[in-house]
A and B are shown apart, each in its own frame.
Chain A
Amino acid sequence: MTVAHEFSNESALADDSEVACKLPTLDAEEQLVHSLRNGEDSGFEALVRSYGPQVMAIARRYMQSEADASDCFQDTFIAVFQSIDGYQQRSSFRHWVRGVTINKCLMQLRKRQRRREESIEHMLPLFDDRGNRVEVASPRQKAGIGELLDAEQLRRVVRKYIDRLPDHYRVVLLLRDIDGYTTREAAAILGIKLNAVKTRLHRARSALRFMLEPVLEQIDSDADV
């Protein structure tokens, strides 16, 4: 069955199993908000279909497991529907939905049992007694294993390494580097101090640099050719 509705009329429509959509235009967003405020069933369905891909992408990014992402997906739409009167139109609706999604993910992360996390201490920059940087090669670099990755493989590797970061680092990295929040906004979202965001961000990026070092060296050597 092909699913068509007014909010996805620009998108390529999908087969039975998947629904592919683009975000609605600003006019359509306004209509959608109006319809949600009126409690219309069709409004809710349009909301889920139009914003589903965006919400699911964010939920998968933060939650790592498909089951947890699906829970966040459902919780997000219920929260959007229930709090639509609180939407002040100070930002675009899609931006607001993104914020609700991230909040739901963070709530879920706080609730869920802590997964076993790898310490990143050994991945952080090292300094000698005089404060000089000491380069520590990542294990694969020591083994002399260079990597030649195509763009898609590289994207997968980067995502895999981001997933390896402990949650409190990973979340800051996603908020700042991927979702584009400022340090101040990230601090407000997480309820932590500005300096804590900066420290976690720096540590997360440094650890990621350590994990990606063989790839980075490869990129450098390609650039030198």
Chain B
Amino acid sequence: MMLTCKEFDEFMTDYLEDGLPVWQKYMCWLHVKMCRECAHFVRQYRRVVALEQAAFDSPDDPVPNSVPEELVQAAIAHRNTR
């Protein structure tokens, strides 16, 4: 018997991370093959994860590459007061 969309949704995280037993994995795979809405959802969901990672992963990002000097000095001073 085929999974409903709701049942598939409950398995989705594990399915996408290959964390399901073979039978459940097959049932999920079959559902995605048969259900256009869920296939669309899965495609967008995967893209969201990729977009998240890209959002914090640029070598040109000014945030990860620099810290105000005054903050560095404050941390050093903070330690000296301990």
Contact = CB atoms under 8 A, between A and B. Distances in A.
Contact of B64 (A14, A48, A57, A70): A57
Nearest to B80: A41
Given A44-B79, A74-B78, A77-B79, A56 B71 contact: yes
Given A52-B71, A70-B71, A159-B56, A78 B79 contact: yes
Given A56-B71, A70-B71, A61 B56 contact: yes
B22 interface: no
Nearest to B50: A177
Nearest to A51: B67
Nearest to A131: B4
Size range of the chain B interface in the assembly: 35 or more
B52 interface: yes
A163 B7 CA distance: 29
Contacts of B41: 125, 133, 209
A19 B67 contact: yes
Given A131-B4, A133-B38, A209-B48, A18 B69 contact: yes
Interface in A26-85: 44-45, 48-49, 52-54, 56-57, 60-61, 70, 73-74, 77-78, 81-82
B55 A158 contact: yes
A162 interface: yes
Interface string A208-225: 110011011001100000
Contacts of B35: 133
A162 B79 contact: no
A130 B7 CA distance: 11
Nearest to A14: B66
B49 A177 contact: yes
B13 A201 contact: yes
A216 B69 CA distance: 39
A216 B48 contact: yes
Contacts of B5: 125, 127, 131-133
B14 to A, nearest CB: 7
Nearest to A177: B52
Given A18-B66, A125-B9, A52 B72 contact: yes
Given A130-B4, A206-B45, 18 more contacts: A3-B69, A18-B68, A52-B67, A57-B64, A61-B56, A77-B78, A78-B79, A125-B9, A127-B4, A131-B6, A133-B5, A154-B55, A162-B55, A178-B56, A201-B13, A208-B48, A213-B44, A220-B44
21 contacts: A16-B69, A17-B68, A20-B66, A49-B72, A52-B75, A53-B67, A56-B63, A57-B64, A70-B74, A73-B67, A78-B82, A130-B4, A132-B6, A133-B9, A155-B55, A156-B55, A158-B52, A158-B55, A202-B9, A202-B13, A209-B48
